[in-house]
Amino acid sequence: MMKWSKIRAIAFDLDGTLIDSVPDLAAATNATLVQRQYPPVTEALVLSWVGNGAQVLMQRALSYVSAMAEDDPELQLLLEQTMPQFMHHYGEHLQKHSRLYPGVLVTLQQLKQAGFKLAIVTNKPYRFTVPLLSAFGLDGLFCEVLGGDSLAKMKPDPMPLQHLLEQWQLDESQLLMIGDSKNDILAAKAANIMSIGLTYGYNYGEDIALSHPHAVCENFADIEQYLL
């Protein structure tokens, strides 16, 4: 196997890549819906709504239970009123049922030890990202953590990746994006960097291979073959 020898830094997605967070996202979504007098939804439905940050998750949930279109102005108003409730509930649930995927901690430690600079580039709001990382003992591994609200634009926009390139003075060939969603692969392609797609996460029920990352891995530890 040829190593990708130019890579110096790696940007990791969080939800569906490092952490299986849907059980808590679903619990918070349902607590919010019930508070609003709507019926709760299945975890499988919530899983299919994850990928574009907390606000879009709630927008999709409210659209589903109210049968209003996602761009209906009335839904927008409802969403604005509901977001503080969701943020409260998710803050309460954060790590109750979420789990690290197998191999994540050891592989990240090995990559860091090998000298790679590691970053988190997630669409999850920053305020939840940092406590979640420390709850799983991952906080010391990353030199940069970017949430979905850290910059003006989130994935699939390349902005967070371009930010890393600039901040770390890296050439495009030196940064790798690893994630479970087409938003990760689209952001990488738009930033002109390499990417690896993971098959076990959340991608709206679609095969990540259809987004054409440079490699597809079934287990987190499988990324090592390109790097170590």
Ligand X SMILES: O=C(O)COP(=O)(O)O
Q: Based on the shown chain and the rule CB under 5 A, indicate whether residue 21 belongs to the binding site for Mg ion.
A: no
Q: Give me the catalytic one of 13, 20, 24, 184.
A: 13
Q: Based on the shown chain and the rule CB under 6 A, indicate whether residue 15 belongs to the binding site for ligand X.
A: yes
User: Which residue, 78 or 208, has its beta carbon nearer to Mg ion?
Assistant: 208
Provide, rounded to whole angstroms, the least separation between the CB of residue 35 and ligand X: 21
Provide, rounded to whole angstroms, the least separation between the CB of residue 125 and ligand X: 8
Contact criterion met (CB below 8 Å) for 227 and 111: yes
* Candidate segments 44-52, 90-98, 107-115, 210-218, binder of ligand X by CB under 6 A: 44-52
**Which residue of 55, 82, 98, 123 would you call a contact of ligand X, by CB under 6 A?**
123
**Which residue of 29, 52, 59, 211 would you call a contact of ligand X, by CB under 6 A?**
52
User: Which residue, 53 or 213, has its beta carbon nearer to ligand X?
Assistant: 53
User: Which residue, 16 or 197, has its beta carbon nearer to ligand X?
Assistant: 16
User: Which residue, 31 or 186, has its beta carbon nearer to ligand X?
Assistant: 186
Separation CA 211–CA 12 (nearest Å): 17
Nearest to 11 by CA among 222, 217, 155: 155
Buried b (16+ CB within 10 A) or exposed e, 92-110: ebbeeebebbeebbebbee
Separation CA 184–CA 121 (nearest Å): 9
Separation CA 63–CA 68 (nearest Å): 5
Please report the sign of the dihedral spanned by the C-alpha atoms of residue 208, residue 211, residue 216, residue 217.
Answer: negative
Q: Based on the shown chain and the rule CB under 6 A, indicate whether residue 181 belongs to the binding site for ligand X.
A: yes
Contact criterion met (CB below 8 Å) for 12 and 6: no
The HSE-up count of residue 85 (CA atoms within 13 Å, CB side) is 17
Q: Is-catalytic flag, 13?
A: yes
Q: Which residues carry a binding-site annotation?
A: 13, 15, 180
Binding residues for Mg(2+): 13, 15, 180
Binding site for Mg ion (CB under 5 A): 13, 15-16, 180-181
The contact set with ligand X (CB under 6 A) reads 13-16, 50-53, 57, 122-124, 181
